[in-house]
A and B are shown apart, each in its own frame.
Chain A
Amino acid sequence: MASTMTLIETKTLSSSVGSITFSSIPSTYFDLKVLISARMTGATTRDNILVHLNSDTTNTNYLWQGAYWYGTSVGTNESNAAYKIIGDAPGSTQTASVFSNIEIYIPNYLQTNEYHQFSSESVVEAFNTSDNFNSFNIVKHIGTGAAISSLTFTPNATGASWATNSTFYLYGIKNS
């Protein structure tokens, strides 16, 4: 059981950027946790947040399973390519000031002999029944078997950037 959680890095955007990467992640922890409060600039009410490990953008190296709830609908889905989803964020047509909340837990990020798999919970509280969107996601990376040294988060909407005031936190967790 983790006994310490250390804030490695935090970034609140003062201007919009197309993606954010935490690089050179220290190898002094057991697990990683990422918290995101985000909004995107794309003309959409909501779209996915994608994750890339170690700058690997090869779609077939990622598997995803998700369960989601929006409006009065529920669903599950899975994909062995293209989807690298760890949550959702509101876009520019969503109610002003609405940001999503995402929590990602990445266990054993230093291991090199197995695939990396991790989970996330995501909430878009849009203050209206039809646009509220909550999801639970599991991503599996079947890449090169390297320790995770960088994490990149990208809004999926075409041409979208992370909006100003989006905030990203990276924590390191260990049991001592």
Chain B
Amino acid sequence: MTETLTALEVCCCGNCAAEGHEKEVIRPLTAEEITQREADAEAYATRKAEEDAAAEAKAALKASAKAKLIAGQPLTAEEADVLVL
């Protein structure tokens, strides 16, 4: 069963009773809010995948550069960049 997502709104006015409104309101998220949340989560996942791929590529370049240095072989420009930039 899928959980119904809710929003809790806590009023900080300090005068709720006198102004005739509830201090706390819990309501289901609107369709727009759910869409926004899904878009945020998707954007994060995409960005995270890009970051992870970039980190793995950089680590691979470093490992390759190290191996070539030890073996006395010439480095590619990309391999040199990860060592000096």
Q: A residues bordering B, Cβ < 8 Å?
A: 8-9, 11, 13, 16-26, 41, 47-48, 50, 57, 59, 75, 77, 79, 81-84, 154, 156-159, 161, 170
Contacts and interface: CB of A to CB of B under 8 A. Distances in A.
Interface residues of B, number: 27
B56 interface: no
27 contacts: A9-B10, A9-B12, A11-B10, A13-B8, A16-B3, A17-B8, A17-B26, A18-B6, A20-B7, A20-B9, A21-B9, A23-B11, A24-B11, A24-B12, A26-B13, A26-B14, A50-B40, A59-B40, A77-B51, A79-B47, A82-B40, A82-B43, A82-B47, A83-B44, A154-B37, A157-B41, A159-B5
Contacts of B11: 23-24
A8 B14 CA distance: 8
A83 B47 contact: yes
B12 A20 contact: no
A48 B44 contact: yes
Contact of A17 (B2, B7, B47): B7
Interface of B: 2-3, 5-14, 24, 26, 29, 33, 36-41, 43-44, 47, 51, 55
